[in-house]
Amino acid sequence: MDGTDVKEPLLAEARRLGFAAAGITSTRPFAEARRRALRAIDEGRMDGMPWYTRERVEESADLRRRYPWARSIIALAWPYRPASAPGASPHGNGDGSTVRGRMSSYACLDLDGRPVDYHTLLGARCDALVAWLRERHPDVRAKRFIDHGWAMDRAIAERAGIGFTGKHASLITREAGSYVMLAEILLSLRLPPDSPSKRGCGTCRACMPACPTGAIVAPGVIDARRCIAYLTIEHRGAIPLELRPLMGTWAFGCDLCQEACPINARLAPAPLEARSATTVSGPVPFPDLVECLGLTDAEFEQRFRGTAVWRAGRAGLARNCAVALGNSRDVTATPALERAHSSDPDAVVREAAGWALSVIG
Ligand code: SF4
Ligand code: SF4
């Protein structure tokens, strides 16, 4: 099946649906990305992510092994808005009543004013794009990936020409800097591929010293075990003691390397509007840490089910908030930390609260 005529209208439709950038690449294997991924496993940089196996790398580097019908890949980048005040005071809301932390801005997506998980949002947009294509090619087969380890999203995006990987290891697009989430759609339709981006960071290194935990161990190479985004979202159990003081007040994710990037300073979408500190209506960029520390399972579910924060779990978020409150050194958090230390149902949270109390003194 050949889709030469439909390529440009398809990419235009992707942009009409809200994607910042869209491009096409072939399904030939991603040899360089495979080599880098296997090296990350061999060097232990993916420890703690047991699902990230060699077998998974092999299959995702050559999608034709699982999807022999595939002929093309659409690479898509969805823009999201950075926090309203990058570099703002890490705690306090100005009136001394609330200790505010940070949540990664991608977690604060909303759709028509309601918080939404990016998998849900991008899934719906990808499905709409496939439906549009099927009106013209009814027999086309399609399989979408959204932040899915079986597809090498950055390698696909780079080869499809929608951006390049910065030294902070995120894809940088012309349209929205690195404030994008990636999606891919495999198609049985053969479409003419785009050319890879020729751009790069040049001599800039601004993101590397901006990382407080030293997780950017070389240009484009992240040691996940040290990355605050990994520690606050994926990591289960206690956070290593030596990393806790370096984590600032991040309750979920981390945007510091993106905020340091001069390209983002020029290209990032308009920032999120100021929001209150309460998470009663879902994730906010500067959340009330004491409130999040004390949530019950039911409250956590009511606020965060269907959002990115759900992945951390109630205990994971409470653990992160305890560490963040310790780093805030704000004595007004002491009663909440004492409650969590003595009565949180999760031993990891109790321990983290004890650590925070010892830091605050
Ligand atoms: S997300 Fe944060 S911790 Fe991870 S590499 Fe970037 S600055 Fe470092
Ligand atoms: S801060 Fe500089 S080195 Fe880092 S990703 Fe941006 S342009 Fe590249």
Is residue 246 classed exposed, middle or buried when 0-12, 13-18 and 19+ CB atoms within 10 A define those classes? Answer: middle
Q: Which residues line ligand 1 (CB under 6 A)?
A: 168, 211, 213, 215-216, 222, 227-229, 254, 256-257
Band of pLDDT at residue 270, cut at 50, 70 and 90: confident
Distance CA 191, CA 113 (A): 37
153 close to 43: Cβ distance less than 8 angstroms: no
pLDDT for res 240: 97
Query: How crowded is residue 132: how many other Cβ atoms within 10 Å of its Cβ?
Result: 16
Band of pLDDT at residue 231, cut at 50, 70 and 90: very high
pLDDT for res 96: 56
Centre of ligand 2 to C-alpha 244, Å, is 25
User: Hey, CA dihedral for 289, 294, 297, 303, is it positive or negative?
Assistant: negative
Catalytic residue among 62, 110, 147, 346: 147
pLDDT for res 1: 59
312 close to 320: Cβ distance less than 8 angstroms: yes
Q: Which residue has the higher pLDDT, 84 or 164?
A: 164
pLDDT for res 90: 46
Q: Which of 170, 171, 222 to mutate to test the pocket of ligand 1 (most atoms within 8 A of CB)?
A: 222
Consecutive H or E run containing 63: none
| Mean pLDDT to the nearest integer, 263-269 | 90
Residue nearest to atom 8 of ligand 1 (CA): 211
Provide the whole-model pTM. Answer: 0.90
Q: Which ligand is in closest contact with the Cα of 214?
A: 1
Residue 71, C-beta contacts closer than 8 angstroms, at least 6 positions apart: 1, 26, 27, 187, 188, 189, 190, 191
pLDDT for res 113: 74
Active site residue 147: yes
Distance CA 300, CA 345 (A): 14
Amino acid code (one letter) for 276: S
Q: Average model confidence (pLDDT) for the chain?
A: 92
pLDDT for res 89: 47
Residue nearest to atom 2 of ligand 1 (CA): 254
pLDDT for res 129: 98
Is residue 129 classed exposed, middle or buried when 0-12, 13-18 and 19+ CB atoms within 10 A define those classes? Answer: buried
User: Which three-class secondary structure state does DSSP give residue 44?
Assistant: coil
Residue 249, C-beta contacts closer than 8 angstroms, at least 6 positions apart: 90, 91, 99, 100, 101, 102, 289, 324, 325, 327, 328
pLDDT for res 2: 67
Residue nearest to atom 7 of ligand 2 (CA): 201
Distance CA 160, CA 171 (A): 12
Q: Per-residue pLDDT tens for 147-205?
A: 876 789 999 999 999 999 999 999 999 999 999 999 999 999 999 999 998 899 999 99
Does pLDDT of 112 surpass 80? no
179 close to 269: Cβ distance less than 8 angstroms: yes
Q: Which ligand is in closest contact with the Cα of 225?
A: 1
